[in-house]
A and B are shown apart, each in its own frame.
Chain A
């Protein structure tokens, strides 16, 4: 946490913008809450007491640092050194808990009694339900009804932890709609409730706040890569991107080191041009979604297009404003992986390394063949979550598509 206040040129401006992206385009009903957060978030998270509590929980409750693992089979396959940043080994099975720990500590200091969250794959919902149980705060999680079906194990976990899971029935019934419902709840309960956004999206200061809480990922990568390779930085950092929280965290401390190539993996769904895709950087244009100016998939009339990805966590029509800025400035490069390519990477990692990844994370593995890796390149792939929640999806997909194992 010591490094989080350093000035980074890719960092957010005082008015909440990353270049032309970001800002807070919110109805007046949310102004007081968002303004309070904006005024207080840096002050609170830089308090020594806050940092101590945050770091203690990350260590003893989440199980950090998460290992950086040299994946030998993958490395042999791609002809480079592939290191997996094992966020899948965190408590609750993904990187999401880094942020929910930070935000619950913040919410307590803001005197909020009730927590709401949106969730796609359910990982953020589980991570939020977990910290609410820990801190004894009421928890309501909005989840698209389509996602409730495809991520059933996580729904059960949230309920086990005492959270109320509310299905979002509007639109495509996925992450976008769950986010809409959470925002509406926040409007109705602004005084009592803190909204824990799980992605690096939303009105300022959310993208920056989430990024800072997730920046523990790149902070650890810095010393771990030195320990493993003797070099100060990796040649590549690769992460999947839906809204972009794990990518933001994995990139954060490398943003200003242009020797580190930053690679994003989007979900192409059934193919970028199939009409069933979530490849925002290719299919998207500048506009406003969930309170921020960013890249999003929309019609000529500014109606937001319902995206598609087999992976619930990447099934989002926008991208965080930091990522929009990184893409626009060329600092990060984006590749897209289809459902099928991601599935094949799931199988490869399961069989090759004994690690069943989350479908989201598998997108980051699926594009490794495309980025032009050279021998001796040190590549860190953020393995953002584990695949337990996806087992039903995996088995069905394998059966339906006659994939030979």
Chain B
């Protein structure tokens, strides 16, 4: 299994990193979605650990987290779910969650169990870089886990360099100063910011996320970084109960080269599609 970074470097560009919340829309759907994403060609998967108070997230991820928690999702169960699919899928899996979840589980035990489950790395938006370096960096190394730090249009060059230095997976370029799930186009100011970062020749690969929801925004992400992170848009797609169709659409837009593989996978494993559809069909979305 390749590391997150190596996966990005090997392919070079047009990386697609898809986020979804573990336990949403159902507990059972997590493993199915992991497999479906892997089989349809996602390069990386970001698995959200649902949190009661996700400060950096917009309404879509908040609601998916509430549903996942109501479904009874726990950290232990997420590890179990990843472990269950690990032998079937090779795509790197990144856990995304909040620091309090890691601390309550016990930081070292968390990292140990994450490694054992086959998780490759973490993104923790409220973990300051300084505290990571002081308290966590050596533990991450010990358990072979990668980390990505976020940078925003307001992040100073000095901090961008610090994020570059200590991010062992990739730099997470937050496309705008906002919470997740914003729709709309990309402004000139954002392009200036992406251009600046590109010109800094950072040693880490980078992916652009937050507000990536359509062809235009994905093209821009691919142009200015190694690829795109799609979260809220994917969750909204799942919620429309059209997961396989949406998957198809999203991936068609994103990974034209993988289209044939995707078609083959989806239509040759109808049983799987039905299973997935049934799972999701059993839910009553508001």
* Chain A interface (Cβ < 8 Å from any Cβ of B): 23-29, 31-33, 170-171, 176, 180, 183-184, 187-188, 190-191, 286-291, 298-304
Contact = CB atoms under 8 A, between A and B. Distances in A.
B67 to A, nearest CB: 12
A25 B104 contact: no
Given A23-B131, A26-B128, 17 more contacts: A25-B99, A25-B128, A27-B56, A28-B149, A28-B174, A29-B56, A29-B154, A32-B154, A171-B52, A180-B55, A190-B154, A287-B104, A290-B55, A301-B105, A302-B51, A303-B51, A303-B69
Contacts of A188: 177-179
Q: Rank and list the top 7 A-B pairs by shortest CB-CB distance, nearest first.
A: A302-B104, A32-B154, A27-B125, A303-B52, A28-B150, A302-B101, A27-B56
Given A170-B66, A304-B53, A28 B155 contact: yes
B17 interface: no
Contacts of A289: 53, 100
B151 interface: yes
B53 A27 contact: no
Contacts of A301: 74-75, 101, 104-105
Interface in B47-84: 51-53, 55-56, 58, 62, 66, 69, 74-75
Contacts of A33: 154
Contacts of B98: 288, 302
Q: Which size bracket describes the interface of B in this complex?
A: 35 or more
Given A288-B103, A304-B52, A31 B159 contact: yes
A137 B138 CA distance: 47
A188 B180 CA distance: 10
B174 A302 contact: no
Contacts of A286: 103
A310 to B, nearest CB: 22
Contacts of B103: 286-288, 302
A55 to B, nearest CB: 34
A82 B9 CA distance: 71
A354 to B, nearest CB: 42
Interface in B93-142: 98-105, 125-128, 131
A308 to B, nearest CB: 15
26 contacts: A24-B128, A25-B128, A26-B126, A27-B56, A27-B150, A28-B174, A29-B56, A29-B150, A29-B177, A31-B152, A31-B155, A170-B62, A170-B66, A171-B52, A180-B55, A183-B55, A188-B178, A191-B177, A286-B103, A288-B126, A289-B53, A298-B100, A301-B104, A302-B102, A303-B51, A303-B52
Question: Which among A27, A180, A289 has the highest number of chain B CB atoms within 10 Å?
Answer: A27
B62 A32 contact: no
Contacts, number: 105
A187 B62 CA distance: 15
Contacts of B58: 184
A32 B131 contact: no
A135 B104 CA distance: 43
B260 to A, nearest CB: 39
Contact of B53 (A31, A180, A300): A180
Contacts of B52: 171, 303-304
Contacts of B100: 287-289, 298, 302, 304
Contacts of B10: none
B265 to A, nearest CB: 34
Nearest to A26: B126
Interface in B17-38: none
Contacts of B155: 28, 31-32
B211 to A, nearest CB: 11
A300 B150 contact: no
B254 to A, nearest CB: 25
A324 B105 CA distance: 21
Question: Which among B66, B100, B156, B178 has the highest number of chain A CB atoms within 10 Å?
Answer: B100
Given A31-B159, A32-B154, A191-B177, A300 B104 contact: yes
Contacts of A291: 55, 126
A176 B154 contact: no
Contacts of B62: 170
B101 A29 contact: no
A246 B152 CA distance: 36
A188 B181 CA distance: 11
B176 to A, nearest CB: 9
